[in-house]
Structure 1
Amino acid sequence: MTARLTRRIGVALIVASIAMTPAVSAQEPRTLAVAPFTNISAEPSRNWIGVGIAETVGTDLRDADGIDVLSRAVVDGAVASLGRAGSGASAERVLLEVVRELGADYVLAGAFQQLGDRLRLTARLIDVQSETAVEAFKVDGRLGDLFELQDRLTREVRGAVRRMLGRGAGTRIASDGAARESNGSGNGNGEGEVPLQAGNGNGAGRYARYDEDGPNGGLNASTSAGPRGLSPGTVSADGSGGAGGELLLGDAYAARSGSVPAPAAQAGPAAGFAIGGGRRSVQAQRATEPPIIDGRLDDAAWRDAVLVTDFTQTNPVEGAAPTEQTEVRIAYDADHLYFAFYAHYTDPTQIRANRADRDQLRRDDWIAVMFDPFLDQQRAYRFSVNAYGIQGDAILRGGRSMRGPPGGGGDSSWDALFETGGAIVHDGWTAEMAIPFKSLRYPSRGAGEHRWGFQITRTLQTKDETLVWAPMTRAVAGVLTQMGTLGGLRGLSVSRNLEILPTATAIQLGRLTDTGYVEDDTQPDLGFNMKYGVTSNLTADFTLNPDFSQIEADRPQIETNQRYALFFPELRPFFLEGQEIFRTPGRSNLVHTKTIVDPQIGAKLTGKTGNTTLGVLVANDAAPGKLDDASDYGFGETANFVIGRARYDLYSQSYIGAIMTDREFLDSYSRVAGVDGRFRLGQTHRAQFLAVTSSHRDLDGIAGSGPMFNAEIRRDSRHLSYSLDFNSIDPDFRTDAGFVRRVDMQQLDADVEYLWWPESWLISWGPEFRYRRNVDHAGTLQDEDFRADMSLRFARNIFFRADAQREMERFQGIDFHKTRFSMRNGINTSRRFSLFYGMDWGEQIRFVENPFLGRMFDYNVSLTLLPTSRLNSQFRLDTARFADMHTGELVFDVKILRTFTTYQFTDRLLVRNILEHNTGNGKVGINLLFTYRVNAGTAFYIGYDDRLQEGIYLDRERFYNHDLQRQQRAFFTKLQYLFRY
């Protein structure tokens, strides 16, 4: 303790001596610390290079005006003493702690890597207080030219320091909030800030940093640089220019501060909120001839395409330089966006790539591009590709946190038509991608320039590393708000997208009846689907006799001892298109299209006009009229559904909306209508609400109505995250077009989580605490629980989570007090297998007429094996075991075993086999499917489905043993061919 106190006093004395140093200019100088550069190559004997780089750069910067450079001896000594104290933090955390105590405003931290006679220097200029990188640098050359490389790095850092100190021109904000101009220029080469006045790309400017607590309601003057671009350029008041630092503030900020206004038409509603301003930007080049999409980068189109190479990490070390090089080339013509990818590897044996069906890339290395065509931060498209050219696509919604990979997640049920090709080369892999503009929805600009939100991400599974082109931080909530921009798109095709998708199916069924097993005749059928682009951003869909055969199967869930209904997601293509438009806040689904069981006809209009997003769905359902009794007055009748949704975008990830659903069958109806909204509050907070009411009448003429209300406020940040949610559902609330698990509730949920980020072998760890209290509308306490979690995330795709829960649950008028525990663990370190395990144990209620408390023990294990790049086998075991607490008698022991195996013969031909066995009901399922897929629309399927059950579970009077009896068997084929005009 004494030694540590002595070190602390020594550091304090150094800080005091620095603080007493007189200023050398009218402006108080900033203090910079230069740390020794880390050796990340395999040559420990080269460590002297890092010391020499720091000494040279630090010495050369000492003559820079307005900057004080701390002595290297002081920095090294303090780092050494504090590091030996050993807090277990990462090297960068130790460094930031040291230089903060030394009084430094900024620190230059870097690394060097040697490969043969080649040398790479990377560095970051970090703001010590915010712990964010102001600028990043990369210098490549030969080892023999080390002195020249040091000089080049010094010049770049010196230029960054000048821009940081605001030596050039710009508009500054005085203390009274008025805007004042000075003469100079700035190119916007920094991170996350907005230039208040554009310059000629040769100097530095003063920038406005977003600050939710600032005197200007979110924007404050800051003497630091704007976002780095590919090359210096200019930014004018109309938003044009080739560098980063695009002006995207909008008229709302101009009215408050008097600064230069942004282009209202181009910026989108998010711009006025000033979130995401100062985006990194790239200008696409128009191709004179289209490339051949085969994965080989030898086309003439790529020679003139813009090249992007500047990437940073978001994981495992946020803001760090990437460990592998990435090259992306961008081009376009009137009909397509083109991308060429070159993913380099210092060790190509670390490539993870498998030949699989589309959207099955989560275990591979992949590169993705993301677009926000409306630049409103509400919705984005993602297109992905791996080394074999396997495709992935998804829709990303605004409001996603940065806890997961920025290019991951999203709704992958959306399938777009685009073209890809891939090839593995000697030092990595290459891929090409062609995305038709017809596959996207985007605003009409006429002859004007399109400017879209844009991001490029790369995932390296073996290293658990994620790279991004536009820098991102977990300190800011959301992915879409931190995207860069893609500009230069002009003269895009204005032809309307017309897609016609006819389908032909045939199925031959066999089933068990009271008299025995019978085979039905083959049933051929035809279907028709059409999609028409009313405008470039508004699409109409129509379906006639849609086919919903057994191409996809619901994942089995244990249904034993469940108090509430289980939720099964939608898998049918017609309903998946644009489904995100119909989503509302809260935990209930007001639109759950699985309630439309057997539609015969359907139509849908989805898209965006101006700032308003629209969705209308009309369909019928023949299922309610399929009755055994032909004399029933409902026999042969259909139910009708009408669903409407409108949402007006206010600003970044913020909107106000309305929703209406109506389901009618004979004289019965179920109607819901109401409003909802979401509001982003600064960089980390958001609030949302939902207020609807229902009106319904059943077939017996009994009518009722009731409201539902939900409100939530949430903070998502790098360290501290929390949420407060209130949900009230009236006892008489009902919806036949949605899914509501429970009514008669007034529930309050509170959640708080804190994460530390060592970003070493331990990536992050921290506790989470949750409290829930639910009272019915009569004022009786129904549920109350408190839960404490601990999560740890390790390097190389390993995680662990455990929690303990104390709960009171009221059932059948009895209060049951329970203690429960759970654990989750996942390992995905190998390219050949991954393992996930979960376990829940403790006290649970037996939900029967005379309930009682018992002991439960549930666990699930999921093992994935990839012995070759073409074979993928997944094995999953789910169990549920329950015993009486007092007698120890086993009440039930249910196990569900499921295997899911695919073999990819070619890029188009695959076979899939699903085997299931449920010991709870004695059911066995076999599903075999051959697929030949040309693209997202054109495919041929032939399959076999067999459903069996142990006789004693099927009919005890008819069958006396556990022998399997066939319940149903089906042979089916399906052919669909997409015509696009």
Structure 2
Amino acid sequence: MHRYRLLTLLALLLGIAPNVFGDIPRGGRGHSGAAHGNVPASSTVNAPRSDMAHVLIPHLNADPKLSDFLSQPLGSATARRMLRITKFTDRYPEDGQPVTEPTTAYMGYTHEYLYIAFVCRDDHPGLLRAHMLQRDSLSDDDYVEVMLDTFHDERRAFLFKTNALGVEADALYTEQTGADYSFDTVWDTWGRRTPNGYAVMMRIPFASLRFEDVPQGDLRTWGILLQRGITRKNESAWWPQVRHNVAGRLTQEISIDGFANVERGKNRQLEPYGLLHSIRQLNTVNPVNPYFNNKHLQGYTGLDGKFVLHNSLVLDLTFNPDFSQIGIDNPAPPNQRFQYYYPELRPFFIENSSYFATPLSLYYTPNIVMPQFGQRLTGKIGPWAVGLLNIDDRNPGLQVPQGTPDYGSRAHFYVGRVNRDIGAQSNAGVIYAERDYLGSFNRNGGADYRVRVDRRWTLSGQAVTSETEHRDGSWQSGQAYVQSVSYSDLHKSFYFNYNDIAAGYLTETGFFTRPDVREPDGSVNYTFRPKSGPLLSHGPSIYSERIWDHTGLPLDFYFDPSYSFNFKHRTSLSAFLDMGQDQLRPIDYSTLKSNVEYHSHVEGANFYTSPKPQFALGGTAYVGTVINYYPPAGQGPYPVNVDSGHTNVEVKPIQELDLLNTYEFDRFTDPTSGAVAYDSHQLVTRWNLQMNKAWSLNFIGEYLATLPNAEFTDLTNSKDIFGDVLLTYLPHPGTAFYVGYTTDYQNLDSNLCTRGVDGTCNTNFPILPHTGSSFLNDQQVIYMKLNYLLRF
């Protein structure tokens, strides 16, 4: 039944655009002519503009090597034949100025590969930032970057980036959502430091890209941008020039011709995995019988598949996905009134997530906890972008004891979106999202748009409606709307946003905090950019927000001014003031007898500096008065004073080792007596030893503690110590070997509950009572995992 529903959804979505699969463009903006052109050796482009004539990239008869670019003159005839680019232009800190350190790029292609080499000179090569790091984690190293708009639509691009040692990072870039580094593909880099800077070479297989068909022998036209980042100077230089006062990056790309008769992409990809693990884990699903679940040397297998249709649509399939090697994300900050937003870390969900992005969130995949089967279709054909997702979630059926009717049940998620490009940088789309579980459902659908006006103004909006039938048969429905306008140039930017969410609106597929609000909010920023001196930029920023319910009752008001300074040598400082007014009602907290208005304010500062490549220090500190959302049982929220400090320290004592440590301390005290209501400690340490580009050893440690005073809060005295060690061999994306160990300790009573004389738990008392200081090992996992990429 679910398969037929997905097919119906596909038909409905594509029915809105009946020609989305029918009119596949052939040739696009390609130009007929000789396959390789008549290109002089070492063609040089010195003064490009995005509106200049197309640049021709030469075909190469042999493969260049990194050693060809380590000296002048170039070391081979092949390297000398490549397109040579010399004039990079700053975008930051001084927009439009020549780059302070010379950069030369070389480009050429063979039947199988695109080659791009960078020769980056530096007057102080000892100050270069270059470390052996994890893939996609270049930290604050110096880097070079290539953006390839292979469909030449100025909206989406492949992004390839590397540091001076050849550590790769790749992403899919869109003008609306930025860079998505969950994308991984197979390509190669080589990098070396030199007495005058560094040189790197990229080799990108055409089999790893997607692009349009053209007739045999015709040239293709792609868009391209090159960038060099000089971190210690906060400097980014581009070819061609990318201006601040023009919205977007790809809108300023240069057209490059070539790529005739190149190898097409690999259209089928399978990635099977095998997992062997032993696990000891606390199971508390049945409140009268908590127990430890022990499994020894159990094996699992799974499979991810990728199939490219028409070289532009990608069908992803997954069976038994496993994410054990991902580790953890940082914990949520304390004293949160609403659900905390956790960023997605699982590759299957974040890859191509931009195809589902809309102003109102209907695609928040942390709601999907434990999938077994999933399918996703994403891609672009001509002006149409398509995203379809169908996946299950076993988690609801595992949250009830075995033997109960709901045990083993699962929820099903369906999301579909079609988006149509309009004009140069505008688009309109529709989206539908649904979650089904045991006869209940939540359905959302609506339309959205984005319009670029005069290169600096952007208008966007969305309207959706939802209907929900709960398991008890009750029903609710409602609508939600959002309208936004934004503007940016070299010195100033602002946005204004208006949300209107009905009392009955609900989304179970997206991120949602509260219904029944009318909420205008906005921000204004101005940036001064001095022409000289250690100060690169500074300026004020103001954010404000006002919320009413639909009866016109004022609920919340926030006014947050700040002022920021950015200096050379990776140093910044900002001061901020956050003032708030919240009105809480009995429907918000049942212990309140009437509406109560609260006032809050905090004053603080942020600081970051990294004067040397081996060290970075950052922190935030603030004091003030906030609302305690965790009062003692039977009482309503009340004001508390807060003192907070958050510190980040990153040390790289050697080229291969990165030690990142964060610590946050929050103390909440009673304003009248000065007594401590509760303290919160969060210590997270992440260490990575990157032995080479393939082998790494990673450690994550976490200590969380909440130390309450029962007179002022109903929070439980809790302490948690978590550890994760992971050895990884990753020669290229999709092929990897992992050996990992995870453990967790909490201050839990070893009896797990208050037991009666018969040994069963007394349900009048909570399970998992906490102790004062002793710790119980509630989770322990040892695993080995192997996955292998097959492309054909």
Per the normalisation by structure 1, the TM-score is 0.69
Instruction: Name the stretch that deviates more: 351-360 or 753-762.
Output: 753-762
Q: Take 1:475 and 1:918, find their aligned partners in 2: how far apart are those partners? A: 45
Which among 415, 434, 442 is matched to residue 643 of structure 1? 415
Secondary structure of the equivalent of 2:612? coil
Q: Deviations over 1:211-260 (max 9, x none)?
A: xxxxxxxxxxxxxxxxxx9459xxxxxxxxxx956xxxxxxxxxxxxxxx
1:369 aligns with 2:141: no
1:551 aligns with 2:298: no
CA apart distance, 1:859: 2.1
Cα–Cα, structure 1 residues 716 and 515, in superposed 2: closer, same or farther, change >3 Å? Answer: closer
Q: Is the 8 A contact 2:69 2:79 kept in 1?
A: no
Cα–Cα, structure 1 residues 862 and 244, in superposed 2: closer, same or farther, change >3 Å? Answer: closer
Which among 185, 188, 191 is matched to residue 419 of structure 1? 188
Q: Deviations over 1:761-781 (max 9, x none)?
A: 211111122221110112111
Cα–Cα, structure 1 residues 517 and 596, in superposed 2: closer, same or farther, change >3 Å? Answer: closer
Q: Is the 8 A contact 1:370 1:383 kept in 2?
A: yes
Q: Is the 8 A contact 1:294 1:421 kept in 2?
A: no
Q: Take 2:531 and 2:367, find their aligned partners in 1: how far apart are those partners? A: 46
1:877 aligns with 2:663: yes
Cα–Cα, structure 1 residues 878 and 279, in superposed 2: closer, same or farther, change >3 Å? Answer: farther
CA apart distance, 1:279: 4.9
Q: Which residue of 2 aligns with 1:838?
A: 620
Cα–Cα, structure 1 residues 651 and 335, in superposed 2: closer, same or farther, change >3 Å? Answer: farther
Q: Which has the higher helix share?
A: 1
Q: Which residue of 2 aligns with 1:890?
A: 676
Q: Deviations over 1:919-938 (max 9, x none)?
A: 12200001000001110111
Cα–Cα, structure 1 residues 446 and 887, in superposed 2: closer, same or farther, change >3 Å? Answer: farther
Q: Which residue of 2 aligns with 1:483?
A: 253
1:303 aligns with 2:75: no
Which among 624, 628, 648 is matched to residue 862 of structure 1? 648
1:902 aligns with 2:688: yes
Secondary structure of the equivalent of 1:574? helix
Secondary structure of the equivalent of 2:348? helix
Secondary structure of the equivalent of 1:334? coil
Which among 134, 145, 158 is matched to residue 357 of structure 1? 134
Q: Take 2:310 and 2:606, find their aligned partners in 1: how far apart are those partners? A: 47
Q: Deviations over 1:272-292 (max 9, x none)?
A: xxxxx6157532111112335
CA apart distance, 1:860: 0.9
CA apart distance, 1:655: 0.3
AA partner of residue 808 (structure 1): Q
Q: Is the 8 A contact 1:541 1:605 kept in 2?
A: yes
Q: Take 1:831 and 1:510, find their aligned partners in 2: how far apart are those partners? A: 42
Which among 63, 84, 88 is matched to residue 290 of structure 1? 63
Cα–Cα, structure 1 residues 660 and 299, in superposed 2: closer, same or farther, change >3 Å? Answer: farther
Residues 308-387 of structure 1 correspond to what in structure 2 (within 5 A)? 308-387=85-164
CA apart distance, 1:425: 2.0
Q: Which residue of 1 aligns with 2:342?
A: 568
Q: Is the 8 A contact 1:399 1:477 kept in 2?
A: no
Q: Which residue of 2 aligns with 1:99?
A: none
AA partner of residue 781 (structure 2): A
Q: Take 1:425 and 1:679, find their aligned partners in 2: how far apart are those partners? A: 47
Q: Which residue of 1 aligns with 2:733?
A: 936
Q: Take 1:885 and 1:308, find their aligned partners in 2: how far apart are those partners? A: 64
CA apart distance, 1:632: 3.2
Q: Which residue of 2 aligns with 1:442?
A: 211
Q: Take 1:415 and 1:549, find their aligned partners in 2: how far apart are those partners? A: 18
AA partner of residue 345 (structure 1): D
Q: Take 2:76 and 2:434, find their aligned partners in 1: how far apart are those partners? A: 54
Q: Is the 8 A contact 2:207 2:264 kept in 1?
A: no
Cα RMSD between the aligned structures?
2.2
CA apart distance, 1:521: 1.9
Residues 511-550 of structure 1 correspond to what in structure 2 (within 5 A)? 511-512=281-282, 519-550=294-325
Q: Which residue of 2 aligns with 1:951?
A: 748
Q: Which residue of 2 aligns with 1:912?
A: 698
CA apart distance, 1:723: 1.3
CA apart distance, 1:890: 0.9
Q: Which residue of 2 aligns with 1:265?
A: none
Secondary structure of the equivalent of 1:522? strand
AA partner of residue 354 (structure 2): E
Q: Is the 8 A contact 1:677 1:689 kept in 2?
A: yes
Residues 369-408 of structure 1 correspond to what in structure 2 (within 5 A)? 369-399=146-176
Secondary structure of the equivalent of 2:153? coil
Q: Which residue of 1 aligns with 2:274?
A: 504
Q: Is the 8 A contact 1:679 1:687 kept in 2?
A: yes
1:581 aligns with 2:581: no
CA apart distance, 1:575: 1.5
Q: Which residue of 2 aligns with 1:964?
A: 775
Q: Is the 8 A contact 2:278 2:781 kept in 1?
A: yes
Q: Which residue of 1 aligns with 2:471?
A: 699
CA apart distance, 1:652: 2.7
Q: Take 2:607 and 2:473, find their aligned partners in 1: how far apart are those partners? A: 52
Q: Take 1:230 and 1:397, find their aligned partners in 2: how far apart are those partners? A: 29
Secondary structure of the equivalent of 1:923? strand
AA partner of residue 778 (structure 2): Q
Q: Is the 8 A contact 1:295 1:420 kept in 2?
A: no
Q: Is the 8 A contact 1:295 1:422 kept in 2?
A: no
Q: Take 1:627 and 1:956, find their aligned partners in 2: how far apart are those partners? A: 18
Q: Deviations over 1:83-112 (max 9, x none)?
A: xxxxxxxxxxxxxxxxxxxxxxxxxxxxxx
CA apart distance, 1:356: 0.9
Q: Which residue of 2 aligns with 1:741?
A: 513
Q: Which has the higher strand share?
A: 2
Contiguous gaps of at least 5 residues in structure 2: 1-42, 284-288, 586-594, 707-717, 755-768
Q: Take 2:142 and 2:197, find their aligned partners in 1: how far apart are those partners? A: 11
Secondary structure of the equivalent of 1:388? coil
Q: Which residue of 2 aligns with 1:271?
A: none
AA partner of residue 442 (structure 1): F
Q: Take 1:280 and 1:953, find their aligned partners in 2: how far apart are those partners? A: 75
Q: Take 1:515 and 1:727, find their aligned partners in 2: how far apart are those partners? A: 44
Q: Is the 8 A contact 2:664 2:681 kept in 1?
A: yes
Q: Which residue of 2 aligns with 1:767?
A: 540
CA apart distance, 1:495: 5.2
Instruction: Name the stretch that deviates more: 441-450 or 543-552.
Output: 441-450
1:826 aligns with 2:599: no
1:724 aligns with 2:501: no
Q: Is the 8 A contact 1:616 1:644 kept in 2?
A: yes
Secondary structure of the equivalent of 1:520? strand
Q: Is the 8 A contact 2:325 2:726 kept in 1?
A: no
Instruction: Name the stretch that deviates more: 492-501 or 747-756.
Output: 492-501
Cα–Cα, structure 1 residues 806 and 525, in superposed 2: closer, same or farther, change >3 Å? Answer: same
AA partner of residue 483 (structure 1): E
Q: Deviations over 1:747-805 (max 9, x none)?
A: 00122221111142211111122221110112111111222211111122111111223
CA apart distance, 1:450: 2.0
Q: Is the 8 A contact 2:175 2:248 kept in 1?
A: yes
Q: Take 1:518 and 1:631, find their aligned partners in 2: how far apart are those partners? A: 17
Q: Which residue of 1 aligns with 2:758?
A: none
Secondary structure of the equivalent of 1:303? helix
Q: Take 1:721 and 1:280, find their aligned partners in 2: how far apart are those partners? A: 32
Q: Take 1:780 and 1:549, find their aligned partners in 2: how far apart are those partners? A: 47
AA partner of residue 418 (structure 1): W
Instruction: Name the structure, 1 or 2, with higher relative contact order (CA <8 Å, separation 6+).
Output: 2
Q: Which residue of 1 aligns with 2:789?
A: 978
Secondary structure of the equivalent of 1:695? strand
AA partner of residue 941 (structure 1): Y
Q: Take 2:312 and 2:290, find their aligned partners in 1: how far apart are those partners? A: 56
Q: Is the 8 A contact 2:45 2:84 kept in 1?
A: no
Q: Is the 8 A contact 1:712 1:723 kept in 2?
A: yes
CA apart distance, 1:609: 0.8
Q: Which residue of 2 aligns with 1:804?
A: 577
Secondary structure of the equivalent of 1:919? strand
Cα–Cα, structure 1 residues 377 and 821, in superposed 2: closer, same or farther, change >3 Å? Answer: farther
Q: Take 2:361 and 2:669, find their aligned partners in 1: how far apart are those partners? A: 34
Which among 367, 370, 381 is matched to residue 609 of structure 1? 381
Q: Deviations over 1:670-691 (max 9, x none)?
A: 1110000100011211000011
Cα–Cα, structure 1 residues 759 and 875, in superposed 2: closer, same or farther, change >3 Å? Answer: farther
Q: Deviations over 1:536-586 (max 9, x none)?
A: 21111111111122433122223x32100111111112222211110012x
Q: Which residue of 2 aligns with 1:625?
A: 397
